[in-house]
């Protein structure tokens, strides 16, 4: 489970809450209320 969460967090292209990404320091309001899904083959599916 920890690997799934880490993989999803690393794929984010925005900063949000405690998850701050130096490459993407701003929050993306178009992603509000959107979920990130990780499949069993480690594919990350984000809206």
Q: Which two tokens stand for residue 39?
A: 């499949």
- Residues 28-44 have pLDDT tens digits of 888 787 777 777 776 66
**Around Cβ 21, how many Cβ atoms within 10 Å?**
14
Give pTM, 2 decimals.
0.49
- Encode pLDDT of 1-31 as tens digits: 787 777 777 777 787 777 777 888 888 888 7
CA 20 to chain centroid: 11
> Among candidates 1, 3, 16, which has minimal Cα distance to 35?
16
């Amino acid at each position: 489970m920890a690997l799934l969460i880490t993989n999803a967090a690393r794929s984010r292209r925005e900063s949000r809450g405690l998850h701050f990404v130096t490459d993407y320091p701003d929050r993306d309001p178009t992603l509000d209320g959107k979920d990130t899904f990780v499949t069993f083959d480690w594919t990350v599916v984000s809206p």
